[in-house]
Amino acid sequence: MKKISLLLGIMVLGFSFPAKGQWIPQSPSTDKIVESTPPEQLYVHINSTLFFPGEYLLYKVYTIDGSVGKVKNISQIANVELISETGEQIFLQKVSLENGVGQADFFVPTTVPSGNYKLIAYTNWMRNFGDTFFTQDVVIINPYQAQQKNLLKKRDNFPHFQDSPEFETTRDQRNLMSLNKEVYGNREKVPIEISTGSGNRKGNYSLSVRKVSQLPAIERVTAEQLVNSWQKVGVESNKFFLPEVRGQVLKGRIIPVNGETGARLDDRHISLSLPGEKMFPLIVATDEDGRFFFNLDQKRIKENIFLEILGEGKEDFEIELQKYEPLNFDPSQFSSYSLLPEMQEEILKRSIFNQIENAYFQVKPDTLVSASRDTGFHKSIEVRYDLDDYKRFKTVPETFVEIIGSAWIRRNENGERVFEVRGLGNSINMEQLPMILIDGVLIQEHNDLIELPAQNIKSISIIRKKIFRGPQIFQGAILVQTNDEEFSNFYKKPYITHIQLNRPEIKKKYFHQMYSDVNSEKRIPDYRYQLLWMPKLEINGSGKTIELYTSDVEGEFEVVLEGFTEEGDPVSIRKTFSVQ
């Protein structure tokens, strides 16, 4: 805990960073962070290494604290990429890490061509330590595209891929997972018994039950293989990547619009607001070089963001965000999977099954896990006026005079109309203006609200308490909700930058097929290859029983349990059964 506190303190006390890339120059300050912060290592349990369009690449991320060897995260965000042999990025997903673990998935579309790919997982902190990323070779076969050149290359040393790539379960783990028999029928219940054994096997795990591919497949990296091969390395770059210890970091700087070199850039206030959300904006100040950064709360999952330069002279500057610095991978590091003529029948069969399953997706849906959001204020301090409950007035000034209490419009020393909110205890502070939010967007020009047609407004809420947001203080707040909540779609100002941020993936609860009455659901086809994906499986001292049902697909299936005990010991167990 002391190490993390020191790290946070150094970050808060004043780092500057360049506008290009997700890094800062290496310095004595960064050396202190390296000395005080343990290294991280990621393991990713992936459900397969061979995918077709219409299938899900499912995965769970485990973070290992290198100083103690246990599942425990320093970073709050993991980055997971899928890249091709040519360096094309198929996806970059950000995964929230809680208690050292996170989960996400990727639906393979028909636009992704056949080829050899690399799944790469890392944290921003890991980019300081050279080649320490988690990597897994993945193959995609896309029969819906005519061009298959990526998998038809002549391979001088085409490796032998087994039909069923297996890993050997260690002797002390073999009896930790068991099935009641080896052969099951279609749509039959399969109970999986997971025990803790004689040792302490309490921990965090993930469970995958999937048909063993009849096509050659690449070996999947196991938790045990990763831990046994990991080695700590020193800093290998003159660039220093800031760890995301408090959530996702958004960095940028302000630059003069006219290119003036002598313009003062420090102590300019920048706000971040979330359109459509009734949340207080985040506000930070720039450093002497005009640079700023926001630590984004994990619970703020919106992608639509407004960045706004505040105060006088705001029109003289514009915002420039840092760009992501891509990874570089040598194509020779990719697998050399190739299509063979004898694969045609199995490719056709699997493609048909996928199409049928996707046609019935609505009756087998995954569900999103809703996240609670920190709005920054409690409803108990808010007085809300739903305007339909009152006589409607044509203008906002009339509405405030006739309906809204503790707030009014006055003219300032420049003759401009501004809002004012009475403080608690009926105090009036004319030096501090209220915060104004319309559909979650921070409004600096009060006249923009004054001129808004009153018939477009659904409700107005007043908060009389002082509001402290970073370096700025507001005397209360006026929160306006429009009828369609689309104010942000047409609100444009030169000092506002509207961005779509790549936010962490939303957790899902994956579909778990249950057959209480097989006959009643007989008309719905069931061609699932993935019988079960359970990314969140916590095992206590008494063990656990997991039940699932087979599908109409016959053949060999594998049950794979991956994860780590509370003591940091890796667990990798594989069992198989047949469906006939």
- Residue 433: which of 467, 400, 405, 402 has the closest Cα? 467
Reported as a pLDDT band with limits 50, 70 and 90, residue 169 is: low
The pLDDT of residue 21 is above 50 = no
Are 393 and 402 contacting, i.e. CB atoms less than 8 angstroms apart?
yes
* Alpha helical stretches, state H, 432-484: 447-450
65 phi, psi to nearest 5 deg = -75, 115
d(CA 498, CA 308): 9
Higher confidence at residue 438 or residue 24? 438
Residue 35 is encoded by which pair of tokens? 């000395």
Residue 370 is encoded by which pair of tokens? 């809703």
* Alpha helical stretches, state H, 364-518: 396-402, 447-450
The pLDDT of residue 497 is above 50 = yes
Reported as a pLDDT band with limits 50, 70 and 90, residue 326 is: confident
Alpha-carbon torsion (160, 42, 329, 148), positive or negative: positive
Higher confidence at residue 535 or residue 566? 535
Quick one: pLDDT at residue 370?
64
Write down how long the chain is: 580
Quick one: pLDDT at residue 36?
66
Of the given ranges (282-291, 321-330, 393-402), which has the lowest mean pLDDT? Answer: 321-330
The string of DSSP codes covering 314-327 is: GGGEEEEEPPP---
The pLDDT of residue 156 is above 70 = no
Residue 402 is encoded by which pair of tokens? 């006739």
Quick one: pLDDT at residue 378?
55
Reported as a pLDDT band with limits 50, 70 and 90, residue 152 is: confident
Residue 376 is encoded by which pair of tokens? 């920054």
To the nearest whole number, what is the mean pLDDT of the chain? Answer: 85
Instruction: State pLDDT tens for residues 60-70.
Output: 999 988 767 78
Of the given ranges (69-83, 210-224, 231-245), which has the lowest mean pLDDT? Answer: 231-245
Beta-bridged to residue 411, according to DSSP, are 417
Are 86 and 118 contacting, i.e. CB atoms less than 8 angstroms apart?
no
Strand 472-482 versus strand 435-438 pairing type? parallel
User: First and final CA of the chain: distance in angstroms?
Assistant: 54
The full 3-state SS of 231-275, as one line of letters, equals: CCCCCCCCEECCCCECEEEEEEEEEECCCCCCCCCCCCEEEEECC
Look up the pTM and report it: 0.84
Average pLDDT of the segment spanning 166-192: 82
The pLDDT of residue 22 is above 70 = no
Q: State percent of the chain over pLDDT 90.
A: 57
- Residue 477: which of 440, 530, 425 has the closest Cα? 440
d(CA 419, CA 436): 9
Cα–Cα distances in Å, from 13 out to 4, 9, 113, 122? 14, 6, 47, 26
Quick one: pLDDT at residue 9?
44
Quick one: pLDDT at residue 575?
94
Quick one: pLDDT at residue 47?
97
317: left (phi over 0), alpha (psi -120 to 50) or beta: beta
Instruction: State pLDDT tens for residues 444-464.
Output: 999 999 999 999 999 999 999
The DSSP symbol for 98 reads B
Higher confidence at residue 8 or residue 184? 184
The pLDDT of residue 55 is above 60 = yes
Cα–Cα distances in Å, from 225 out to 218, 222, 335, 450, 540? 15, 5, 18, 64, 24
For residue 458, the number of C-alpha atoms closer than 13 Å in the C-beta half-sphere is: 9
Quick one: pLDDT at residue 529?
97
- Kindly report each contact of residues 320-324 with a partner whose C-beta sits within 8 Å and lies 24 or more positions away, as own/partner: 320/19, 320/252, 320/253, 320/254, 320/255, 321/250, 321/251, 321/252, 321/497, 321/499, 322/17, 322/19, 322/20, 322/21, 322/22, 322/251, 322/252, 323/20, 323/21, 324/21, 324/22, 324/92
Reported as a pLDDT band with limits 50, 70 and 90, residue 355 is: very high
The DSSP symbol for 213 reads P
By three-state DSSP, how is residue 511 classified? coil
Quick one: pLDDT at residue 11?
43
The pLDDT of residue 10 is above 60 = no
Burial (CB count <10 Å: 0-12, 13-18, 19+), residue 441:
buried
The pLDDT of residue 243 is above 60 = yes
